[in-house]
Amino acid sequence: MRIRSTPSWQLKESDVTPESVYHQRRDILKKLGITLATLPLATQAQANIFDVFSDDEKIPDRRRALKAPDSTRFHPDLSLTPEDKILKYNNFYEFGTDKSDPARRAANFVTDPWKVDVSGMIARPFTLDYDDIFKRFPIEERIYRLRCVEAWSMNVPWIGFPLASLLRYAQPTSHAKFVAFETLYDPKQMPGQASRRLGGGIDYPYVEGLRLDEAMHPLTLIAVGLYGKTLAPQNGAPLRLVVPWKYGFKSIKSIVKITLTDKQPPTTWNLLAPQEYGFYANVNPQVDHPRWSQASERFIGEGNLFSSRRQPTLPFNGYASDVASLYKGMDLRKFY
Amino acid sequence: MTSVSTARQKKYRISPRQITALKVVIHLVSLFFFVLLIFQTFKGQLGADPVQGLSHFTGKAALNTLFITLLISPLAQWWKQGSLVKVRRLLGLYSFFWAVLHLLVYVLLDLNLDWALLASEIAERPYLTVGAVCWLILFALAVTSTQSMQRRLGKRWQQLHYWVYLAVPLAPVHYFWSVKSGVIEPLLYIAGAIMLLSFRKKTFKRWIPKFHQQTPSEER
């Protein structure tokens, strides 16, 4: 495992935005938000005028503050997707197929206690409990692009630890070639698992996998929080995978099992529609989904409905210089 | 025959005033859903980013209204209330209204007016081609829906409006093809389309022998 000392995504100390500036920027954005709210078509303004239809749902928020050093070392120049949108626009079919379902249906999802079982072809099998998730490996904040296979994208300030830290601790044997992940299976808590209609006809538990070299890549993160707080259930609490150069469905949520194997593990969307979703699922503007173009994406950022913008999709979601070498000599049209 | 007609005279008939009332109800229900959609959008009930929600809502509204439109004639026959067909045009126009909104959401909010992308997507993606065909059929029917157009087109008017029998199965196919997973609901719509077409078996049967008789004679 060769790790470059200065990967391109790791900005030099001199490039790092001081924390005060980071928060200043947030303040400015907030103020912009207030200005927008006074415009006739802005969300908040309308919400206040038309409260007649139903009361705003009060969703319990059990997240707690999470301190993470190394803030904004990664892509501080990216404009962030507002926290509110990251919390309310989710694909987490275990809680329903509509984007707004997970925030509502996962509100009471129990993440403490939690247990992650790390096993398979490793010298040191172990389990992580809830506290270990945040304490066993040093966490840091990283701002990553997130590109969904449905051609929308966000920029998210994740908090987490490199999966490589966990894997090095586990000590993969020489036979280990792949890492398999599994989401919690609990139909009592996850209505989408109890009902095929709610869960979009998927066979649960949700499973995902990476090649070992992909899993060991320094960009591959196990996220335990975002926006300075622990993860909300709809974002995959208490811990989820984040592979920023792959389509979002690879970044499996609410993980309970990490297994090292010598065979390519089955992956949920590939099982459901193999001609549409591959094992690799690298973001690639040149290889379209059979039913829609992947050349561009709708960025979900600040502002209201009418301020969304379409932007070109970047090869490997903008991380080509870091990860393209992993796929040298591979036909990316074949291994989509 | 006489017994039937006397029975009909005794039977309840929908009055013109009731047809007007029904039209008012159709307007109110449609506008209610339109207002509801706007409220939901700006109250954040369609999610933090309502584009997908808006697309689904308007698409399904167009589909539902189209199906209700196609249900009118069979109902008028079963209930022997011929005047019921007077609400058909209004319903059809509302179906087109939703289809226009559906397209606007896609072009304006999803593609951000990227016309080149729109053109290539419609050409390359079968589900969008199918959607575009449906939209054009509804468009053609909407612009020829006035009585003056009906008079001007004469016999061809009915022939043009038979195209709705193509839009009815294609619209749910467009829906079925567009979803990532969860095909149960689109399949139910496809079943509904087949049912609506099966009510018109007689019309279709009329077409088939016509072809058999006419085509050979026309060719020679």
Q: What is the pLDDT of residues B54-89, one digit of tens each?
A: 999 999 999 999 999 999 999 999 999 999 999 999
Q: How far is A330 from chain B (nearest CA, A)?
A: 26
Q: What are the Cα distances from residue A87, in Å, to A99, A113, B96, B170, B206? A: 10, 22, 35, 36, 57
Chain-chain contact of B49 with A197 (C-beta, under 8 angstroms): no
Please give the Cα distance from A259 to A279 (Å, whole number): 16
Residue A331 lies in a domain: no
Beta strands in A71-125 (DSSP E): 115-120
Angle, alpha carbons A121-A126-A130 (nearest 5°): 135
Q: Do both A310 and A244 map to the same domain?
A: yes
Residue B183 lies in a domain: yes
Cα-Cα-Cα-Cα torsion A254, A258, A263, A264, nearest 10 degrees, comes to 20
Among the partner residues B39, B46, B53, nearest to A53 by beta-carbon distance: B39
Give the total number of structural domains in chain A: 2
- Overall average pLDDT of the A164-173 stretch: 98
- Overall average pLDDT of the B121-144 stretch: 96
Among the partner residues B42, B47, B184, nearest to A89 by beta-carbon distance: B47
Chain-chain contact of B184 with A201 (C-beta, under 8 angstroms): yes
Residue B55 lies in a domain: yes
Containing domain of residue A22, as a range? 11-56
pLDDT digits (tens, 9 = 90+) for A225-272: 999 999 999 999 999 999 999 999 999 999 999 999 999 999 999 999
Q: Do both A93 and A167 map to the same domain?
A: yes
Comparison of pLDDT for B46 and B145, the residue scoring more: B145
Residue B1 lies in a domain: no
Given this model, what pLDDT does residue A215 score? 98
Alpha helices in B105-200 (DSSP H): 115-124, 126-143, 147-153, 155-161, 164-178, 184-198
Q: Do both A229 and A270 map to the same domain?
A: yes
Q: Do both A33 and A113 map to the same domain?
A: no
**Residue B210: exposed, middle, or buried by beta-carbon count in 10 A (0-12, 13-18, 19+)?**
exposed
Given this model, what pLDDT does residue A204 score? 97
Q: Do both A26 and A158 map to the same domain?
A: no
Q: Residue A223 pairs with which residues in a beta bridge? A: A160, A240
Chain-chain contact of A41 with B177 (C-beta, under 8 angstroms): no
Comparison of pLDDT for A102 and B44, the residue scoring more: A102
The interface pTM score, or ipTM, of the predicted complex is 0.77
Q: Do both A165 and A42 map to the same domain?
A: no
pTM for the model stands at 0.81
Among the partner residues B36, B126, B182, nearest to A200 by beta-carbon distance: B182
Chain-chain contact of B53 with A100 (C-beta, under 8 angstroms): yes
Chain-chain contact of B52 with A99 (C-beta, under 8 angstroms): yes
Quick check: bond before A113 cis, omega within 30? Answer: yes
Please give the Cα distance from A199 to A93 (Å, whole number): 5
Q: Do both A116 and A234 map to the same domain?
A: yes
Given this model, what pLDDT does residue B214 score? 55
Give the total number of structural domains in chain B: 1
Comparison of pLDDT for B187 and A13, the residue scoring more: B187
